[in-house]
Amino acid sequence: MSTDAPLSGGAKAGYGLAELGSGILLQSTSVYLMIFYTDVFGISVVAASTLFLIARIWDAINDPLMGAIVDRTKTRWGKFRPYMLFGAVPLGIVTALCFTTVDLSETGKLIYAYATFIGFGMLYTMVTIPYGALASSLSMDSKERGSISGIRMMFGMVGGMVVAIIPFLVTAFGDGDTAQGYKITMSILCGLAAICFLVSFATTKERYSAPPQDTRFSVKDIVALLKANKPLTVLCLAFVANSLNMGVATATGTYYFTYNLGMPEKFPLMMLTQLVVIFIGIIASQIALKKFEKKQILIVGTLLGMVKPAAMYFPDLNIILGATIIGGFGQGLAVALIWAFVADTIEYGQHKTGKREEGMTYAVFGFFLKFGGAIGAMIPGLVLNYTGYVPNVEQTELATFGITTLAATIPLIVMSIFVLIFTRYDLDSKSHAKIVDELQQREAVV
């Protein structure tokens, strides 16, 4: 095992560009697909939430399977990169189909929605699991990985900024036909996302990765992996809470601004404001990395991020925008470092077991992310249905209370749980550097 020279800024940007494409696709489906299904496509909130639950549980199950496939991969393009090459275009097409309205019966629409959304999840897994694992082959240095993760998330925030203007694009392209506006808008954005993945494939190089391994996919092997890797276990448990919160919050924002504030046209403003300050927070995280541990930065960022949901108890646009600035900055501090934590656990696991399982490590983490996201995606539909939500009409006091619960109470509880769990993460940069040195010494002896 060799220590690589630091990556150039261009190489980091090439890697990060795929996150722009990933951000466009994931955030489009996370933020707008629920309300597209209920208010445009014509699916009930219960049917839509059930669809999200089933699709994302199935998607989560696919992650370890994909990880096992990645760990066995050997091609002329490397171990991780070929999945971007061959998966980018199909992923873009299927995502666009998710936002395409078809003239079918109610049952036919449900079948179409299940087919396209499950297809999106499977293709997204096929492309992004190896893309995430690619980071572990770009550098062996924990601080450098923090920089790579930060740049990756900067591109993700740019993708989010693009997603924030979707309502404007839908209005412009639809010219009064919302369904047509979604179809044209998402076709364009999905094409852009596919191009991002392809350019990232062309501009990245795998510098270090383990040779193909006979990684198995079974519950027993996954349990063994987690048992031997405490830092990964803590990450997985913590990010179940994190992704549950994101699943609830991202699906709820459009409802909150439409029905609680009565200002649906201001939702893109809130999103753009949040994304700009998240971007600033990501930059600040890179400065903070020079003096502080990733764990410290992430916890502080999460605590600041709790300001935004707290403000949702006060349906005032100025209060919410102010809290969005504070919370978004904190979110930027936190999200910049997520994937660097995962990369570090790969060497920890290798040190403990003698096996370097890049694909499976990212896949297991992805499983827990998507499991939490599946629960988070189900909750809004259940709460909206229980509190009497009816699309496209003025809501009752109970229904607006339900939306407030989704926008404020649940996120605050879940973010608190996340912080409590993450305090148990104990793999700092010094410990990681020592592990890498010992792994290099083992290789030298061999």
Q: What is the pLDDT of residues 315-355, one digit of tens each?
A: 999 999 999 999 999 998 988 787 788 888 988 998 988 88
Q: Which pLDDT belongs to residue 140?
A: 74
Q: Of 400, 406, 416, 409, nearest to 379 (Cα)? A: 406
Per-residue exposure over 373-384, b if at least 16 CB sit within 10 Å of its own CB, e if not: bbbbbbbbbbbb
Q: Which pLDDT belongs to residue 445?
A: 47
Measure Cα distances from 432 to 7, 231, 257, 336 in Å: 19, 11, 44, 19
Per-residue exposure over 26-38, b if at least 16 CB sit within 10 Å of its own CB, e if not: bbbbbbbbbbbbb
What residue type is assigned to position 199 of the chain?
V
Distance CA 1, CA 208 (A): 8
pLDDT 10s digits, 243-252 = 899 888 877 8
CB neighbourhood size of 440 (10 A) = 14
Q: Which pLDDT belongs to residue 88?
A: 95
Question: Average model confidence (pLDDT) for the chain?
Answer: 87
Inform me whether the pLDDT recorded for 79 exceeds 90: no
Distance CA 405, CA 435 (A): 44
Q: Which pLDDT belongs to residue 84?
A: 93
Q: Which pLDDT belongs to residue 74?
A: 85
pLDDT 10s digits, 260-312 = 999 988 988 888 898 889 889 988 998 998 889 999 999 999 999 999 999 99
CA atoms within 13 A on the CB side of 111: 6
pLDDT 10s digits, 156-210 = 888 888 888 898 899 999 988 999 999 999 999 999 999 999 999 998 888 766 5
**Can you give the residue ranges of every domain in the chain?**
9-206+215-445
Distance CA 132, CA 80 (A): 9
Distance CA 135, CA 208 (A): 10
CB neighbourhood size of 104 (10 A) = 13
Instruction: State mean pLDDT over 367-388.
Output: 86
Could you tell me what percentage of the chain is helix, strand and coil, using 3-state DSSP and rounding each to the nearest 5?
80, 0, 20
- φ/ψ (deg, to 5) at 108: -60, -40
H helices within 256-291, ranges in order? Answer: 267-288
pLDDT 10s digits, 200-215 = 999 888 876 655 556 5
Whose structure tokens read 């459009």? 254
pLDDT 10s digits, 92-144 = 999 999 999 998 998 999 999 999 999 999 999 999 989 988 887 787 777 77
Q: Which pLDDT belongs to residue 246?
A: 86
Fold topology of 9-206+215-445? Growth Hormone; Chain: A; (1.20.1250)
Measure Cα distances from 67 to 16, 60, 108, 328, 383 in Å: 21, 11, 33, 32, 34
Distance CA 16, CA 21 (A): 9
Q: Which pLDDT belongs to residue 446?
A: 41
pLDDT 10s digits, 211-240 = 555 655 567 777 888 899 999 999 999 989
Q: 314 or 286: whose pLDDT is higher?
A: 314
pLDDT-based confidence at residue 1 (cuts at 50, 70, 90): very low
Supply 125's token pair: 């897994």
pLDDT-based confidence at residue 3 (cuts at 50, 70, 90): very low
Report the residue count for the chain. Answer: 446
Q: Which pLDDT belongs to residue 146?
A: 77
pTM of the model as a whole:
0.71
